[in-house]
Amino acid sequence: MGRRDDAARYSKEGWASVFVVLAFLSLGGCKCAERQRAEDLARLPQGSGSLQDQLAAEAAGRPGDTVTLEAMIAALTKEGVSFAAPRQGFGKKLLATYCASADSTDGMILTICEYPTAEQASRGEAEGKVLGTQLAGYQSRVRKKSVLQLVARSDTPPEHVAKVLSTFDGL
């Protein structure tokens, strides 16, 4: 009898210890994620207060050596996909140095966000997916230090969606 009681007591103590360790790690994980997000935001260009100043700082701070919306539009135009004029978005919201979007004439919205590092681009893609996956036709992917977010209407030709994805992968 004594051995069974000891085993039960040690088993309960063992599980209690595991629970405490897991609780500690999960709380620490939140702090690590918050700290990482703060570090990512600190790497971004900072405007002097207004939204216009922030957008100007982001445009001036664009990183090199990555896929840009301008390069995507130029390549896709040669493939027969045309776009309206691009517009700048608020990059900081997605941990990005710079974001810009353009609408195709056949029902796609392309957004390319540029990041200081490939690792930060992966984290930014994850942030974008939180809202993006709620949209029908949403897809995203990372290449170099950029993230493509694509939203296609249901009537967008599938071959145009395929061209966008393959072009992004090839740049």
Q: Which residue segments constitute the domains of the chain, with CATH numbers given?
A: 62-170 (3.40.1000)
- The confidence band for 167, taking pLDDT boundaries of 50, 70 and 90, is very high
CA–chain centroid gap for 146, Å, is 9
- pLDDT tens figures, 89-119: 999 999 999 999 999 999 999 999 999 999 9
- The confidence band for 128, taking pLDDT boundaries of 50, 70 and 90, is very high
Q: Is 129 in a helix, a strand, or coil? A: helix
State the pTM of this model: 0.80
Calculate the alpha carbon distances from 85 to 2, 17, 60, 76, 107 in Å. 80, 59, 19, 14, 14
Burial tier of 126 (Cβ tally within 10 Å: 0-12, 13-18, 19+): middle
* CA–CA distance, 110 with 146 (Å, rounded to integer): 13
- Outline where 61-157 has alpha helix (H): 69-78, 118-132
Q: How far apart are the first and last CA of the chain?
A: 71
pLDDT at 15 over 60: no
Average pLDDT of span 57-77: 96
Percent of the chain predicted with pLDDT > 70: 82
φ/ψ of residue 4, rounded to 5: -65, -40
Residue count (the chain):
171
pLDDT at 11 over 80: no
pLDDT, residue 9, reads 47
